[in-house]
């Protein structure tokens, strides 16, 4: 299985190479040269399997010869061992034809654990085999950072640096990043917003001398291995509601388009998905793009669903690549135009996107009202991101079962939840002492050279 860049101008890589690299050298994102198909019989056979075995069968064709079957099974059993629910991704019912896929039972209480725990195990395995050491730098709007730190802390072959926007993550998210004591963990509070963090990260990857000098590796949501890990729960949840014999729809709270893109991959693999609903908060570039065809950057507005406070949605490039008939030059040109703030999606590409995706947006008031109404009618306490999904899903309910992805545990966002229902959700018992632990964090300017110096100094100390 070969991986190619969405901008058509970087070397083809194997699965393991694409995973270790993250961003392609032409600035593009890696995608599989072709999408493997699963037959209806193979999909039906996932029913009743453990999450780990279903994960093995769904992901195996994408891995090629990067891992043997035994190695990959071992990696998967370690990956999900730390989850606190035996089903890993349980489904609960919200209404007659509306289901919630709880993706927050991993170690940091957000869906990002599904992918990050996996790539932590895969990195360790691969780096040990190669006798190499890498520097992981990630940018986070809150949940990626803690998930990455939890996945890589204490590993021998990895230093992990996480950039987060100072003052724009919740207290719990910050504590999760700043309280681990491992020497290979470095939490960096950047003076800027998430898009600044993401932009500086891209700058580091595009500085090849720095990139090669520190052996930079990326684990942001553009990493193909992360997208792949997320494909699995689309299959397990759909199969438990009757796929492949029955279609399902999904509503996905969306920021960087990684999670919903995984749903699109599941559909391309053969899972019968009717609608894939993009649910955004007020930072609605994707919803506007779907409505008008114009992808136009605006400033980021802080919201009560901070992990979706994003304007430039990195993984959307992968969807554009397919919508433009896999024309890397066309994608490269759009991304060049975006540097000045906007591009217009061609009519043909819009038609292709609309065949797979629909979209909606939830305001802050609607998000709070949804937390309240869902609690009243079912007892389920939603986090504000999941509530954005449930709100937008509500506009698309029909005879096809709708599965909304619940992306974080409500206790990660206690202020918003308290505003909505008047009570603060409890952290799980194993995390309750975290708020009292001492923090370790460095404040950094929104400046590439300063960041690079800090990273080089820290690596030299380790
Ligand atoms: C990251 C995140 C999202 C957005 O996921 P994308 O893959 O970036 O679209 C939504 N909700 C929560 C809680 C998150 O952490």
Residues 14-23 have a mean pLDDT of 92
| Average pLDDT score over the chain | 95
Residue 452 has pLDDT above 90, yes or no: yes
For residue 148, give every residue at least 6 positions away whose Cβ sits within 8 Å of its Cβ, in sequence order, or none.
116, 136, 138, 140, 160, 162, 219
Local confidence band at 325 (pLDDT 50, 70, 90 cut-offs): very high
| Parallel, antiparallel or unpaired: strands 30-32 and 3-5 | antiparallel
Q: What are phi and psi of 253, to 5 degrees?
A: -60, 125
- Can you give the pLDDT at residue 221? 82
- Can you give the pLDDT at residue 21? 87
Q: What are phi and psi of 18, to 5 degrees?
A: -65, -35
Give domain status of residue 31, yes or no: no
- Can you give the pLDDT at residue 250? 98
Q: What percent of the chain has pLDDT over 70?
A: 100
Query: What is the separation of C-alpha 228 from the centre of its chain, rounded to a whole number of angstroms?
Result: 10
Residue 142 has pLDDT above 80, yes or no: no
Residue 299 has pLDDT above 90, yes or no: no
Distances (CA, A) of 358 to 11, 121, 355, 365: 33, 35, 8, 22
Least confident range from 69-78, 185-194, 427-436: namely 427-436
Instruction: Report the domain count for the chain.
Output: 1
CA torsion angle 264 265 268 274 (round to 10): -30
Cα separation, 333 vs 416, in Å, equals 40
Give domain status of residue 274, yes or no: yes
Give domain status of residue 208, yes or no: no
Q: What percent of the chain has pLDDT over 90?
A: 89
- Can you give the pLDDT at residue 421? 98
Q: Is the CB of 259 under 6 A from ligand 1?
A: yes
- Can you give the pLDDT at residue 454? 97
Cα separation, 108 vs 113, in Å, equals 7
Which tokens belong to 405?
């992805």
Q: Which atom of ligand 1 is closest in space to residue 386's alpha carbon?
A: 11
Say which CATH number the domain at 416 has: 3.40.50.1100
Q: Which of 56, 97, 128, 142 is nearest to 383 (CA)?
A: 142
Give domain status of residue 128, yes or no: no
Range of the domain at 349: 91-107+224-421
Cα separation, 207 vs 216, in Å, equals 10
Residue 149 has pLDDT above 80, yes or no: yes
| Omega of the bond leading into 244 within 30 degrees of 0 (cis) | yes
Give domain status of residue 285, yes or no: yes
Residue nearest to atom 14 of ligand 1 (CA): 307
Give domain status of residue 267, yes or no: yes
Local confidence band at 245 (pLDDT 50, 70, 90 cut-offs): very high
Distance 407 CA to ligand 1 centre (A): 7
Cα separation, 317 vs 345, in Å, equals 11
Q: Which atom of ligand 1 is closest in space to residue 230's alpha carbon?
A: 7
- Candidate of 234, 255, 276, 316 to mutate for ligand 1, largest count of ligand atoms within 8 Å of Cβ: 255
Cα separation, 162 vs 454, in Å, equals 12
For residue 281, give every residue at least 6 positions away whose Cβ sits within 8 Å of its Cβ, in sequence order, or none.
303, 305, 308, 309, 361, 362, 364, 367, 388
Give domain status of residue 27, yes or no: no
- Can you give the pLDDT at residue 23? 85
**344-383: per-residue pLDDT in tens?**
999 999 999 999 999 999 999 999 999 999 999 999 999 9
For residue 118, give every residue at least 6 positions away whose Cβ sits within 8 Å of its Cβ, in sequence order, or none.
75, 76, 79, 225, 226, 229
Least confident range from 125-129, 332-336, 368-372: namely 125-129
- Can you give the pLDDT at residue 447? 97
Task: Please confirm, yes or no, whether 112 is among the known catalytic residues.
Answer: yes
- Can you give the pLDDT at residue 310? 86
| Parallel, antiparallel or unpaired: strands 402-406 and 98-102 | parallel
Are the beta carbons of 173 and 143 closer than 8 angstroms? yes
Local confidence band at 446 (pLDDT 50, 70, 90 cut-offs): very high
Give domain status of residue 178, yes or no: no
């Amino acid at each position: 299985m070969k991986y190619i860049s969405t901008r058509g101008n970087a070397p083809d890589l194997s699965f393991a190479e694409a995973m270790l690299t993250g961003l392609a050298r032409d600035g593009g994102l890696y995608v599989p040269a072709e999408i493997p198909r699963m037959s209806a019989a193979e999909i039906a056979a996932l029913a009743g399997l453990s999450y780990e075995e279903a994960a093995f069968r769904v992901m195996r064709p994408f891995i090629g010869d990067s891992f043997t079957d035994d190695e990959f099974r071992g990696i998967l059993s370690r990956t999900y061992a730390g989850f606190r629910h035996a089903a890993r991704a349980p489904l609960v019912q919200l209404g007659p034809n509306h289901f919630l896929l709880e993706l927050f039972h991993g170690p940091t209480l957000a869906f990002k654990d599904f992918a990050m725990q996996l790539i932590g195990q895969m990195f360790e395995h691969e780096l040990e085999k190669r006798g190499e050491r890498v520097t992981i730098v990630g940018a986070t709007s809150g949940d990626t950072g803690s998930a990455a730190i939890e996945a890589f802390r204490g590993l021998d072959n990895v230093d992990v640096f996480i950039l987060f926007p100072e003052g724009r993550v919740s207290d719990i998210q910050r504590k999760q990043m700043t309280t681990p004591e491992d020497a290979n963990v470095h939490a960096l509070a950047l003076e800027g917003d998430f898009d600044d963090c993401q932009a500086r990260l891209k700058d580091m990857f595009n500085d090849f001398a720095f990139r090669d000098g520190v052996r930079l590796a990326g684990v942001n949501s553009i990493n193909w291995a992360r997208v792949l890990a997320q494909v699995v729960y689309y299959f397990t949840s759909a199969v438990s509601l009757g796929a492949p014999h029955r279609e399902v729809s999904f509503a996905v709270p969306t920021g960087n388009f990684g999670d919903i893109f995984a749903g699109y991959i599941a559909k391309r693999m053969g899972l019968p998905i009717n609608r894939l609903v993009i649910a955004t908060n007020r930072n609605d570039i994707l919803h506007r793009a779907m409505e008008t065809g114009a992808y136009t950057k605006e400033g980021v507005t802080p919201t009560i669903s901070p992990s979706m406070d994003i304007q430039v949605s990195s993984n959307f490039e992968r969807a554009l690549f397919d919508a433009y008939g896999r024309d890397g030059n066309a994608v490269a040109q759009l991304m060049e135009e975006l540097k000045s703030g906007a591009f217009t999606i061609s009519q043909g590409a819009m038609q292709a996107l609309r065949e797979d995706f629909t979209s909606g947006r939830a305001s802050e008031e609607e998000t709070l009202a949804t937390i309240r109404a869902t609690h009243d009618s079912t007892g389920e306490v939603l986090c504000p991101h999941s509530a954005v999904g449930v709100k937008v899903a509500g506009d698309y309910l029909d005879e096809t079962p709708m599965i909304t992805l619940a992306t974080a545990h409500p206790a990660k966002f206690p202020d918003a939840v308290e505003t909505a229902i008047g009570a603060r959700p409890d952290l799980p018992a194993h995390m309750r002492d975290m708020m009292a632990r001492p923090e370790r964090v460095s404040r950094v300017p929104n400046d590439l050279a300063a960041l690079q110096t800090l990273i080089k100094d820290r690596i030299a100390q380790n």
